[in-house]
Amino acid sequence: MPDEDGYFGESVAATYDESSAEMFESDAVDPAVDLLAGLAELAGTGRALELGIGTGRLALPLSRRGVEVHGIDLSRAMVERLRAKPGGDAIGVTIGDFATTTVDGTFSVAYLVFNTIMNLTTQDAQVDCFANAAAHLEPGGRFVVEVMVPDLRRLPPGQNAVPFHVGETRIGFDTYDLATQSMSSHHVRVEDGRGSFRSIPFRYVWPAELDLMARLAGMRLRERWEGWTRGPFTGESRSHVSVWEKTTG
């Protein structure tokens, strides 16, 4: 069961950067920061709002680019790691559920990355998140989401589990419920002869479904790429970075 920090409490926060080390490499971070910084400069204040700011993987380099960043995150443990990093104390963070928590001011860009939209495990919560992002944006502001494309073609009839990592000390697999679009990621680790198990629930979501959520929130799709380097999104793409523009006042 989650603690008061949700599924990203102290035990996860303590090793989060190390366990996701490849996502902190420059080839993963720099293209995202380039795109977000460019969008922030397009209009208005040039401020950026990160939903699910975590330990500051993108917020810190974006701040170093001169963009004023504010974050929302439910996990105090993750935010403590952000605060401990150089420059972390210059980034404002509001503790709360990013689907509904509000902050002062308006922003040129809001963003939600690394599949974090799927941490909202109901369609209603995901719809609320789009409405919350739009409410914080200036007219013409952009909302950016990075998320996987559901990989259901790997599921043969009668199977509901797909492995995503098999190693000597760690096994990871996802389970799916196609009727509800719910899924869970399961992590089994064996270290020093001791085993541990952790399971995190998600709700997978389709690109067209996200477009409808954006429309309900007064936004329209402007761009969709396969990733941060802006390669074309195709039927074979396994993820996408989508950009919606706020069209209402």
- pLDDT tens digits along 145-184: 999 999 898 899 999 999 989 999 999 999 999 999 999 9
Task: Give CA–CA dist 53/67, Å, rounded.
Answer: 15
Task: Give CA–CA dist 135/168, Å, rounded.
Answer: 47
Could you say which DSSP state residue 61 is in? Answer: H
pLDDT digits (tens, 9 = 90+) for 199-229: 999 999 999 999 999 999 999 999 999 999 9
Label residue 116 by pLDDT band (50, 70, 90).
very high
Domains assigned to the chain:
10-149+206-246 (3.40.50.150), 152-200 (2.20.25)
Q: How many CB atoms lie within 10 A of CB 16?
A: 20
Kindly state the average pLDDT of the residues 96-120. Answer: 97
| Share of residues in the chain with pLDDT > 90 (%) | 83
Label residue 4 by pLDDT band (50, 70, 90).
low
Kindly state the average pLDDT of the residues 122-145. Answer: 97
pLDDT at 95: 97
pLDDT digits (tens, 9 = 90+) for 51-98: 999 999 999 999 999 999 999 999 999 999 999 999 999 999 999 999
